[in-house]
Amino acid sequence: MPRDRRYDILFEPLQIDPVTAKNRFYQVPHCTSMGYLRPRMLAEMRGMKAEGGWGVVCAEYNSIHPFSDDLTHVSASLWEDTNRGKDTT
């Protein structure tokens, strides 16, 4: 079945400086609860979406400092190694 021409714009490349997305399919950031417990699984999921044709695949929520940590939710974290195990209060 041919695609309705009204939707052709969705399949056109889109310039998002400094890169060009191959289409307008955008996977929004969301939490999968894989985070730091399953980083390879999370990377594989993003890779599968990119292979499947998504133009832009976002990372999920990342805790960037111990103060922003949501302990009840599994998420990725980008803390500096120098802060691990230290009291940051």
Q: What is the pLDDT of residues 17-48, one digit of tens each?
A: 899 999 999 888 777 778 778 888 888 888 88
Q: Is residue 88, in this structure, part of any structural domain at all?
A: no
Q: Give the per-residue pLDDT at 18.
A: 93
Predicted TM-score of the model (pTM)? 0.56
The domain tally of the chain equals 1
List strand residue ranges (DSSP E) for the chain, in order.
14-16, 19-21, 26-27, 56-57, 62-63, 76-77
Q: Is residue 20, in this structure, part of any structural domain at all?
A: yes
| Region 57-79 average pLDDT | 73
Which H helix or E strand runs over 65? none
Beta bridge partners of 20: 15
Q: Is residue 87, in this structure, part of any structural domain at all?
A: no
Q: Is residue 57, in this structure, part of any structural domain at all?
A: yes
Q: Is residue 44, in this structure, part of any structural domain at all?
A: yes
| Structural domain range at position 33 | 10-81
Mean pLDDT of the chain: 80
Residue 77 has pLDDT above 50, yes or no: yes
